[in-house]
Structures are given as C-alpha cells and as structure tokens.
Structure 1
Amino acid sequence: NFSCLLHKVTYNFTFSIIILIFIVGGFIILLLSIAFTRYQSIVESKDTFPVGNITQDIILDCTFDPSSVNGKLAVDATITWTKDGLGGVVYLYQDRAAQLQNQNLQFRNRAELFQNAIAVGNASLLLRNITVEDPGTYRCGVSAPSGHGTVSIQLRVAAYSAPSFTETNNSILTAVANTWFPEPNVTWSDHAGNILNGNTSLFTNYNRISRVLSRLEQPVLLNETYTFLIQNNLVKSVSSATITGTGVLETTSFTFSTSPMLLPKWLSLLISLHPWLCWRL
C-alpha cells in the first residue's frame, strides 16, 4: 500500500511540474509577444522593389511613425541610409541636419532627403541621375522618439522610354523608342490581340542601351488601333496607336516587375568599364 501511495504521489508531483512548465512557458511567450508588439519596427516602405530609369531621378520610399514622445519631435529623429556592400553612408540626417562627412563618393551631390517632410514621418531618399552602378540593396534606418526600425529596398535599374509613331504615305506604321535596357523583345498586335508581323532593329551603344526601331510589315487601316509591346525582365511598355487619317493617336503605359531580381554586380561593373576597355584595346 505504501508503494502504491508513493507511486501516486510521485505521479501527481510530476504531472503538476509539467502543468507548471506549460503555464510558465505560456506566460513567457505572452511577455515576448507583448514586447515584440511594443517595440516592432516603426519604419515601412510602400515600394521595396522599385525600378530606376537610367539618367532619371528616383525616390526610394521610406516612412516612419512621427509621434512625439516626452517633448521629442519627429524632426529629432536620426535617419540613416546605407547600401549593402559599400562603405560610408548614402545619407545621414542627425541633430536636425544632414551629416555627410562619411558619405560614400558615389552619392555625393546625388542623394538628399525631403527635410521639410521629416516632421510628418517622411524619410524617403531622392536619388538623382540613376546609373548602372546604383542597383543594390538600400537600407533606411530610423531612430525616432516613437521607436526605431529598418526597412530594406532593392533597387533595380533599367532604361525605358515611350515610343513615338509615324505613318508613311504607303500606310506603313513605324515606332521608335530611344532608350531601352536590358535588351527588350518587341511585339505588334491588332485590336483583337492577333500577332502581326513586324520588322524590328535594335541599335545598341557602348553602354548597352538600345534604340528600338520597328515597323509593321503590312499596311494599316483607317480607324484601326494597333498595340505595340516592348518588354524586358524589368519593364513592360504597352502602347496603343490609332490611325486617324490625319496622324496617329497614341498612348503608352508602363508596368514594372515586382520580382526582387537585381542586375548582377559583375555585369554592372563590366558595363561601367566598357568604354575604358574599348580605349585600352
């Protein structure tokens, strides 16, 4: 009987310990959950995979919670922009002013914040005159009165432009788009989506940027609308060209890949060195 009683007590004690472990574990998880919710990142971006157009400007979106705490305002935040693989900073805002002593030379006179908008939580970066050296992973880090956090933005770089259309006297429709990179594919179609034959030439310069020249191989019809598609792995351009009798009525829209694919670093380097290599040869 004593043995059975001892066994029962041991069993109850072990069961109680197990229950206690589960209770304590659940309490710890609850505390961690509350802490994570309280201190989660206050920084976000509406576009984490943007596509920049070579020679044009781009805004890398970054916003944060501008709430004031203990008399500290959003303008008292520290905003740090960096790029993976590069020393120095892309841009640093601290003590209510730009601090550019440690700025990487690649971004000198090309990067800036919208300082008048920091008070409302805007930490976005304006990057001017996009080049083939700019693609990569950028990080927007903010330490503000309301909290802190970081968001990553993967910038891809392309070259794209809307085509212009002309109709010759023999009713041949021609499209010209001056800048495209990477090398695109081209398709003509009619209003019903039927693929039409076209003759396309790409004229590529030493920077690997292509000029697209394409013409339909059949005469166009009055009041007919034709679709001209230019696309590569980053950008798609869809143009509608309507033959009016007095000219061509045209519209173009662009869509961008949301895939996080980046231009390989070796390719960017090769492109940037291409003029020098040609000169050496």
Structure 2
Amino acid sequence: MASFGQIILYSMIALIIICAAVLIIFFAVAFTSNNSEALSRNVKPIANMGEDEILGCYLYAKENSPDQFTQVSVTWERKGVDGLVYNYEDGAPQLQNQASQYKGRVHLFPEELSNGNGSLMLRSVRRSDEGEYVCNIKSAAHSGKISIHLKTTAFTPPTFKLSEGVLTAVANRWFPKPNSHVG
C-alpha cells in the first residue's frame, strides 16, 4: 500500500503533466490561428427597449496589407431564429433570407466596411431581440467571427429625493424591476 507521501507525489506529477498538456494545446492553437479576428468593443451590450443599439463587429488584422478590407462580406445571425438578421455580400445587402422580425429594422454602415467595420444598427429594440448574435465578417485578406450577447431592459433615468434622511430613487419605467433594499 502506498504511503500518504507517495500519493501526494504521484498526484503532483499527474497535475504537472496535465498542466503541461493544456499549455501545449493553448500555444499550438494560438500560434496556428490566422492573422485576423473579429472584435467588438462590447460583447454583452444592454439595450433599452424602444431605442437603437449598435452591435459592434470589427475585423482586426494583425498585419497590414494595401487591400486588406476589400470585397467585404458580413453575415449577422441570431441563435434560435430562422433566417438571417442581415447579410451583405458583393457590395450590396442580400436580404432574401432575412428573418421577418428584422425587416426594415437593421442595417450596416456601408461607408465603414472598407475599414473592416461590420457593426449592425438594430432600430427600436424589442424585448424579443434579446439573445446571442453572431457576426461573420470576411474580406479579401482576412476573416473573423464573434458572438454578441444582447440583453434588453426598459428604464427611464431615476430621480432622487431625500426625505427625512431617506434617499429614494423613482423611475417611471423599469424592466427587469430592481430589488428594493431597505436598510
């Protein structure tokens, strides 16, 4: 029977081997990836219902080339929705497969595509717009994909009132309703 010290020694050796394997896999993936990726300034935006929201999607190239952002195509999808949110290919929107709930409510910024910007403007956010969006952006030289997790809320800025030593915040519209804590 192994002693307590031997068990600890074998456990430490196994842990070191597992950590080394994870590091090797991490570095292998990091150094074999392509030289571009899609980025966003905010992958978990919170949109106020009834207002417009921009879902950011930028193509970042690690190496500069003269024609790096030519022939840009952008496809926006939303998980759990039949049809596309938005599709831009061959220099124009391709909306024949667009999901009905997005018709007339979404657009890109065509003048920004040459800079690798495939951000999506979502007009008049609805509660049903909440969910995971995926942006696939490609150019002649680069490509990338990013997921954006949109949350929806409804609020108006609160007004504050101090009465008898108690500070109260009042807002006409809140969704989801905040927890009230009386202390």
Q: TM-score, normalised by structure 2?
A: 0.73
Q: Say if 2:49 is the partner of 1:59.
A: no
- Corresponding residue of 1:164: 159
Q: 1:184 aligns with which of 172, 178, 183?
A: 178
Cα deviations by residue, 1:197-235 (Å, 9 ceiling, x for unpaired): xxxxxxxxxxxxxxxxxxxxxxxxxxxxxxxxxxxxxxx
> Which digits, 9 at most, give the CA deviation of each residue in 1:1-37, with x for residues without a partner?
xxxxxxxxxxxxxxxxxxxxxxxxxxxx9xx669723
1:36 to 24, 32, 35: 32
Gaps of 5+ in 1: 1-28, 189-194, 196-281
* Amino acid across the alignment from 1:58: E
SS in 1 for 2:47: strand
Q: Is the 8 A contact 1:55 1:131 kept in 2?
A: yes
Q: Distance in 1 between matches of 2:46 and 2:144?
A: 24
Q: Distance in 2 between matches of 1:172 and 1:77?
A: 56
The aligned runs of 1:6-155 (5 Å cut-off) are 36-37=32-33, 39=34, 41-65=36-60, 72=67, 74-155=69-150
Alpha carbons 1:161, 1:179 under 8 Å: kept: yes
Q: Is the 8 A contact 2:160 2:167 kept in 1?
A: yes
Identity %: 35
Which secondary structure state, in structure 2, belongs to the residue aligned with residue 52 of structure 1? strand
Cα distance in structure 1, aligned partners of 2:170 and 2:30: 58
Distance apart, 1:65 and its partner CA: 3.3
In the alignment, the residues of structure 2 paired with residue 159 and residue 119 of structure 1 have an alpha-carbon distance, to the nearest angstrom, of 35
Distance 1:183 1:172, change over 3 A: closer
Cα offset for 1:99?
A: 1.0
Unaligned runs of 5+ in 2: 1-24
Shift of 1:40: 5.2
Indicate the structure (1 or 2) with the bigger Cα radius of gyration.
1
CA distance in 1 between counterparts of 2:162 and 2:43 reads 41
Structure 1 stretches (4+) deviating beyond 3 angstroms? 32-35, 65-69, 165-168, 170-175
Relative to structure 1, the CA distance from residue 153 to residue 34 in structure 2 (aligned partners, 3 Å threshold; closer, same or farther) is closer
User: What is the alpha-carbon distance in structure 2 between the residues aligned to residue 54 and residue 100 of structure 1?
Assistant: 24
Query: What amino acid does structure 2 have at the position aligned with 1:36?
Result: T
For the Cα contact (< 8 Å) 1:75–1:96, is it kept in 2?
Answer: no
Whether the 8 Å contact between 1:68 and 1:74 is mirrored in structure 2 is no
1:173/1:33 CA distance change after superposition, 3 Å:
closer
- 2-side partners of 1:90 and 1:84: how far apart? 10
Q: CA deviation at 1:183?
A: 1.4
Per-residue deviation, residues 235-259 of structure 1 (Å, max 9, x unmatched): xxxxxxxxxxxxxxxxxxxxxxxxx
RCO higher in 1 or 2 (8 Å CA, sep ≥ 6)? 2
Aligned length: 156
Secondary structure of 2:136's counterpart equals: strand
Structure 2 SS opposite 1:106? helix
